[in-house]
Amino acid sequence: MHRGIRLGRIFGINIRVDWSWLIIFLLITWNLSAAFNEYQPDWSWGAQWGLAILASGLFFASLLAHEMAHSLMARARGVPVRSITLFLFGGVSNIERDPDSPQSEFLITIVGPLTSFAIGIVLLLAGSVIAEPLRDTVSDPEAAFESLGPLTMLLLWLGSINMLLGAFNLIPGFPLDGGRLLRSTIWAATGNLRQATRWASWTGQGIAFLFIFLGISMAFGAKIPFFGTGLVGGLWLAFIGWFLNSAAVQSYQQIVVQDILEDVPVARMMRSNPPTVAAAISVSEMVHDHVMKRDDYAFPVMEGRQLVGLATLDDVRAVPREQWSDTLVRQIMTPFNELVTTTTDEDATDAWQKLVRRDVRQLPVVHGQELAGLLRRRDIVRWLQFHSELGSN
Ligand SMILES: [Zn+2]
């Protein structure tokens, strides 16, 4: 799912940056330094670029504060959060599951935009307090803008960008914050989460198409209230529309997947007799007698009839070849107590969520510590293909 570069940990939450964010970082820095170059020609080259990089870095911190607010509120409402990933248009908090109640979802969501607005208001106030004395001495607004010092410029820019960030996220298209607020409201009214998600992603697609339509009209010279006109602005709006649409379609597909998998027990799509290996054999035995004879990726590790762990091809590859005969499978496996598992009667939707959210390829299906089968991603994908083909014919 979301990988990217790991930056560190705050409050026990992993912070990552997607590669796409670097593009935005460079774009913003380049844009800002060009703007400084135009409006503050007397600043040195170093000051223009230095301030541009500082401003982009602080913009990044603002995004992080927004996501942190979601994550900390989620945790306060009993929903675990594993990581935050910053990407092209903002951030994603990898919240482990949907909140239990519309109230929780509303609270977890609203704190993000509120944080952005709070930061925005504080920075704009600070900026205008510093800029205030200028207003009396200079009557021409353009000249006043040019006489702003670096600190004031930074405060005003960062303040407006945070206001914009709060407003953009309130667009009522799922999975943006606005769409989540809409979903929690419909959820509270109807008591049906699935239906609420469906409506919220339809709204998202509607708004996305509106943006694309307006953006293209702008590019062809139409003058749109608030958005203005022009090729560049139009293409940007259309691009945001395209992004919103793919996000909405993706969340809609998740609903379709859930509809197909719902009420189907894991037992119906798992593999009942997966190949296993004994904990006491060596890695070289495992490779020659098991790995080379099958196309499986993961092997449940057994001690008698008990499942004690799972060994994968990656675990094998991590051991240097010359140590294969001296290393036991037991030493390279993921032990039982660290495995994510499922049971035969668990709902396939829940098992699917575990696979996606824990980013694993398979779940051992267990009865206590006895192995009942193995559920792989591709087993579920095959089930989905088969049943959606049946549905469309
Ligand atoms: Zn948000």
**pLDDT tens profile 46-70:** 877 888 888 888 888 888 899 889 8
How far, in Å, from the CA of 237 to the mean position of ligand 1?
20
DSSP state of 96: S
How far, in Å, from the CA of 108 to the mean position of ligand 1?
9
**CA angle (48 as vertex; 43, 53 as ends), nearest 5:** 155
Average the pLDDT over 206-216 and give the result: 91
pLDDT at 1: 43
How far, in Å, from the CA of 210 to the mean position of ligand 1?
22
How far, in Å, from the CA of 111 to the mean position of ligand 1?
8
Q: Would the pLDDT of 301 be above 90?
A: yes
Which element (helix H / strand E) includes 156? helix 150-169
Check: CB of residue 269 under 8 Å from CB of residue 348: yes
How far, in Å, from the CA of 119 to the mean position of ligand 1?
14
- Please state, in angstroms and rounded to a whole number, the distance separating the CA atoms of residues 368 and 208: 48
Strand partners, 334: 310
How far, in Å, from the CA of 192 to the mean position of ligand 1?
23
How far, in Å, from the CA of 176 to the mean position of ligand 1?
7
The full set of domain ranges for the chain reads 5-170, 195-261, 266-392
HEC-encoded secondary structure of 282-317: EHHHHHHHCHHHCCCCEEEEEECCEEEEEEEHHHHH
Work out the angle between the directed axes of helices 348-357 and 377-392 (0-180°, nearest 10).
130
How far, in Å, from the CA of 169 to the mean position of ligand 1?
6
Which three-class secondary structure state does DSSP give residue 335? Answer: strand
Q: Would the pLDDT of 118 be above 80?
A: yes
End-to-end alpha carbon distance in the chain: 31
Q: Would the pLDDT of 88 be above 80?
A: no
Check: CB of residue 93 under 8 Å from CB of residue 81: yes
* Averaged pLDDT score across all residues of the chain: 84
**CA angle (32 as vertex; 245, 41 as ends), nearest 5:** 155
Those residues whose C-beta lies under 8 Å from the C-beta of residue 245, and which sit 6 or more positions away, are: 204, 205, 208, 209, 212
Q: Which residues of 22-36 are buried (b: 16+ CB within 10 A; e: fewer)?
A: eebbeebbeebbeeb
pLDDT tens-place string over residues 125-141: 988 887 766 655 556 65
pLDDT tens-place string over residues 3-18: 567 778 888 788 888 7
- Please state, in angstroms and rounded to a whole number, the distance separating the CA atoms of residues 51 and 195: 48
How far, in Å, from the CA of 1 to the mean position of ligand 1?
19
Strand partners, 307: 302
Average the pLDDT over 148-177 and give the result: 85
Q: Would the pLDDT of 177 be above 50?
A: yes
CA 217 to chain centre: 31
pLDDT tens-place string over residues 345-388: 998 888 988 888 777 889 999 998 899 999 998 888 888 888 76
Those residues whose C-beta lies under 8 Å from the C-beta of residue 91, and which sit 6 or more positions away, are: 63, 64, 66, 67, 84, 85
pLDDT at 159: 92
DSSP state of 85: E
CATH class of 266-392: alpha beta
Model confidence band, residue 90 (pLDDT cutoffs 50, 70, 90):
low
Q: Which residue in 178, 184, 181 sits closest to 165, CA to CA? A: 178
Lowest mean pLDDT among 82-86, 201-205, 307-311: 82-86
How far, in Å, from the CA of 66 to the mean position of ligand 1?
6
- The pairing of strands 277-278 and 90-95 is unpaired
Tell me what percent of the residues of the chain surpass a pLDDT of 90: 32
How far, in Å, from the CA of 262 to the mean position of ligand 1?
29
Of 206 and 358, the structure prediction assigns the larger pLDDT to 206
As given in the structure block, the two tokens for residue 28 are: 């913003």
How far, in Å, from the CA of 55 to the mean position of ligand 1?
21
Residue with tokens 């708004």: 207
Average the pLDDT over 319-330 and give the result: 93
Residue with tokens 């509303």: 106
Q: Would the pLDDT of 391 be above 60?
A: no
Of 192 and 82, the structure prediction assigns the larger pLDDT to 192
How far, in Å, from the CA of 175 to the mean position of ligand 1?
9
Check: CB of residue 95 under 8 Å from CB of residue 71: yes
**CA angle (90 as vertex; 87, 95 as ends), nearest 5:** 85
Neighbours of 375 (CB within 10 A): 27
**pTM of this prediction?**
0.67
- Please state, in angstroms and rounded to a whole number, the distance separating the CA atoms of residues 279 and 276: 10
How far, in Å, from the CA of 90 to the mean position of ligand 1?
8
Phi, psi for residue 95 in degrees, rounded to 5: -80, 135
Average the pLDDT over 82-91 and give the result: 70
As given in the structure block, the two tokens for residue 381 are: 């994908």
- The pairing of strands 277-278 and 298-303 is parallel
Which three-class secondary structure state does DSSP give residue 92? Answer: strand
How far, in Å, from the CA of 21 to the mean position of ligand 1?
16
How far, in Å, from the CA of 360 to the mean position of ligand 1?
26
